[in-house]
């Protein structure tokens, strides 16, 4: 090999070493509390009624590992949640976002409670008015009948 070829090869080697990273960046330490907070907002795909943080399934364990890895890679918790939403849809979120059609999930219970309270108030008012307007009238009993009733009650 000629001297020029050797120099060219050496130059390319050093140039490629300078351009490409030699070692990967070390992963940032991630607290288990942060992993738990993100996992508590996601639904387990196996259990479906538990969060990823509370589920004992193997799938939930793998999802927690993905959360930990993505947070260690420098992603924010919102980005990690969005990763799972992109993969599974909004169904994966335990509490749906308060926008669009999902707004019904947040508003219907409030409206139902309001309608229930108004219904109870109207019924109670109607019942109390009915009782007030329909009090029993006093019946006059002649004294002889009153004395007979008293004797029978006392057992004479």
* Residue 23 pLDDT: 42
pTM of the model: 0.53
* Residue 140 pLDDT: 81
Question: What backbone phi and psi angles, to 5 degrees, belong to 21?
Answer: -70, 140
92, two tokens: 């994966």
Q: Where are the domains of the chain?
A: 24-95, 97-136
Picking from 67, 21, 22, 28, the residue whose alpha carbon sits closest to that of residue 44 is 67
Distance CA 8, CA 2 (A): 10
DSSP string for 109-146: HHHHHHHHHHHHHHHHHHHHHHHHHTPPPPPP--HHHH
Find how far residue 111's CA is from the centre of its chain. Answer: 19
- 83 burial class (0-12, 13-18, 19+ CB within 10 angstroms)? middle
- pLDDT tens profile 6-44: 565 566 555 555 554 444 444 567 888 899 999 999 998
Distance CA 65, CA 80 (A): 12
User: What average pLDDT does this structure show over 133-137?
Assistant: 72
Strands (E), 87-148: none
CATH class of 24-95: mainly alpha
Q: In a 3-state reduction of DSSP, which class is residue 42?
A: strand
- pLDDT tens profile 104-115: 877 889 999 999
pLDDT at 63 over 60: yes
**C-alpha atoms less than 13 angstroms from C-alpha of 106 in its C-beta half-sphere:** 10
User: What average pLDDT does this structure show over 85-94?
Assistant: 89
- What b/e string do you get for 28-51 counting C-beta neighbours within 10 Å, with b at 16 or more? eebeeeebeebbebbbbbeeeeeb
């Amino acid at each position: 090999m000629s001297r020029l070829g050797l120099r060219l090869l050496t130059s390319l080697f050093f140039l490629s070493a300078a351009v490409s990273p030699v070692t990967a960046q070390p992963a940032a330490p991630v607290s288990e509390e942060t992993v738990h907070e993100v996992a508590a907002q996601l639904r387990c795909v196996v259990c479906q009624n538990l969060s990823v943080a509370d589920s004992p399934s193997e799938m939930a364990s793998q999802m927690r590992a993905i959360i930990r890895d993505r947070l260690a890679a420098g992603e924010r918790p919102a980005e990690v949640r969005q990763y799972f939403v992109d993969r599974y849809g909004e169904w994966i979120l335990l509490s749906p976002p308060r926008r669009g059609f999902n707004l019904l999930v947040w508003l219907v219970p409030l409206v139902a409670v309001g309608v229930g309270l108004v219904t109870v108030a109207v019924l109670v008012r109607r019942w109390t008015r009915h009782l007030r307007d329909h009090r029993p009238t006093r019946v006059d009993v002649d004294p002889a009948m009153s004395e007979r009733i008293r004797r029978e009650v006392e057992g004479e």
